[in-house]
Amino acid sequence: MSEYWNIRPVSKERTAQIQHRIDTKTKPLGALGRMEEIALQLALIQGQDKITITQPTMLVFAADHGIAQQGISIAPSAVTRQMVLNFLSGGAAVNCFCRCHDMALQVVDAGMLEPLEDARLIQQRLGAGTQDFSVRAAMSLQQVNAGLKLGAELAHKLAEQGCNLLACGEMGIGNTSSASALLAALYQLPVEPCVGRGTGIDDRQLQRKIALITAAISRLDLPLPPQTLLAELGGFEIVQITGAMLGAAEAGIAILVDGFIVTAAALLACQLAPACRDYMIFAHGSAEAAHGRMLNALDAQPLLDLGLRLGEGTGAALALPLLRAACCFYNDMASFADAGVTV
Ligand SMILES: O=C(O)c1ccc[n+]([C@@H]2O[C@H](COP(=O)([O-])O)[C@@H](O)[C@H]2O)c1
Ligand SMILES: Cc1cc2nc[nH]c2cc1C
């Protein structure tokens, strides 16, 4: 299926030239640390003399999860819809950070329990919430393929409109269970270290969450292909985020990856098309326990470590100024020759 995604690996041909430009700026070698890595990655992705962030966009995908009926979150599924209304009226954390950092925000119904009539909401419903994956497949392969396509089409549309940085966020009560299950199943890891407290569940709920994910994984004959893992254990928002990342990479634009759930989608996107990894910048390390394992699997070092565990895309929105600053120094900072500085 990876050949289905038309993703060009980012050419590394100009690496030495770009690194030389960074190294000859008025600073000790390497002194801008991780900012230098971001500039190099953006310069390789964009392939232009000047690097820019244009029309950065946050897509928040919302969906409901059958597993949420099992009491593995602090909140009921009804909160997914309530928070979507909050996003639409501009009152959630991700709205504040996007406004603060001049980032466009769009909300997608990827499959909440009930439809919501609102012209501002992008309607891409794959169903009315997933099935409870502890007892049966969360969705069908047809739903997975439809969701990947819808996510990818949205990313292509944004890129055509001039967006060159896509961030994805999510809202879905129960979706840390899905993300943990995907991590454990993909790498055939013991379940317990892949599971955390999500919205902040207590010890009893955590044990239940571990047992339910263990039951789900014991239904499966691993290893399984990524689409099948998504069908068995995924969520409608996770599937569409995976598709959106693949679409962004096809369009050749940078992807800013948020926390635990979005990183699970990133893992699946890289399984479906490894070249997708070249386009990904990791915004932050989530306080959700197993996020570090996902980041290690992707060989990724996140930019921020703020103890966030909210999702919505908040970490990605917070990291955007660092990307803009990387463009500024790469484009505008004087070289030793320009400034007559001799070291
Ligand atoms: O992105 C993260 O790192 C993250 C970590 C913990 C929780 N969340 C958010 O919390 C919700 C899922 O938590 P839970 O406990 O319901 O599985 C979902 O709406 C996510 O946006 C998000
Ligand atoms: C209130 C609330 C807000 C959220 N935002 C993302 N996930 C969330 C989960 C809850 C419970």
**Angle (CA) 243 126 200, round 5°:** 80
The Cα–Cα gap between 106 and 97 comes to: 13
Identify the bridge partners of residue 280 per DSSP, sorted by sequence position: 255
Are 183 and 294 in contact, with CB atoms under 8 Å apart? Answer: yes
Cβ neighbours around 310 below 10 Å, total: 17
ipTM of the complex: 0.99
The Cα–Cα gap between 343 and 225 comes to: 54
Q: Give me the amino acid identity at 167.
A: A
Q: What is the pLDDT of residue 1?
A: 44
Q: Whose CA is nearest to atom 22 of ligand 1?
A: 311
Q: What is the pLDDT along the chain (343 residues), one digit of tens a residue?
A: 445 899 999 999 999 999 999 999 999 999 999 999 999 999 999 999 999 999 999 999 999 999 999 999 999 999 999 999 999 999 999 999 999 999 999 999 999 999 999 999 999 999 999 999 999 999 999 999 999 999 999 999 999 999 999 999 999 999 999 999 999 999 999 999 999 999 999 999 999 999 999 999 999 999 999 999 999 999 999 999 999 999 999 999 999 999 999 999 999 999 999 999 999 999 999 999 999 999 999 999 999 999 999 999 999 999 999 999 999 999 999 999 999 999 8
Annotation says 153 is catalytic:
no
Distance 177 CA to ligand 1 centre (A): 9
Whether 85 is in the pocket of ligand 2, judged by its Cβ within 6 Å, is no
Ordered by where they begin, the domains of the chain are 11-51+328-339 (1.10.1610.10), 57-322 (3.40.50.10210)
Q: Is 337 exposed, middle or buried (0-12, 13-18, 19+ CB in 10 A)?
A: exposed
Identify the bridge partners of residue 109 per DSSP, sorted by sequence position: 62, 123
**Angle (CA) 256 258 259, round 5°:** 155
Distances (CA, A) of 176 to 150, 198, 289: 22, 6, 11
Q: What would the pLDDT profile of 246-270 be if each residue is shown by its tens digit?
A: 999 999 999 999 999 999 999 999 9
Nearest to 46 by CA among 199, 165, 156: 165
Q: What would the pLDDT profile of 155-209 be if each residue is shown by its tens digit?
A: 999 999 999 999 999 999 999 999 999 999 999 999 999 999 999 999 999 999 9
Instruction: Starting from the CA of residue 260, give the closest ligand.
Output: 1
- Both tokens of residue 124? 């891409």
Q: Is 31 exposed, middle or buried (0-12, 13-18, 19+ CB in 10 A)?
A: exposed
The Cα–Cα gap between 35 and 37 comes to: 5
Distance 82 CA to ligand 2 centre (A): 9
Check the CA dihedral 138-142-145-148 and report its sign.
Answer: negative
Task: Specify the ligand 2 atom closest to the Cα of 310.
Answer: 6
Structure-token match 């921020």, residue found: 304
Distances (CA, A) of 45 to 172, 328, 330: 31, 16, 14
* Contacts of 157 by beta carbon, 8 Å cutoff, 6+ apart: none
Distance 307 CA to ligand 1 centre (A): 13
Q: Whose CA is nearest to atom 11 of ligand 1?
A: 173
Whether 174 is in the pocket of ligand 1, judged by its Cβ within 6 Å, is yes
pTM of the model: 0.98
Among 64, 79, 107, 112, residue to substitute to test ligand 2 (most atoms within 8 Å of Cβ): 79
Whether 311 is in the pocket of ligand 2, judged by its Cβ within 6 Å, is yes
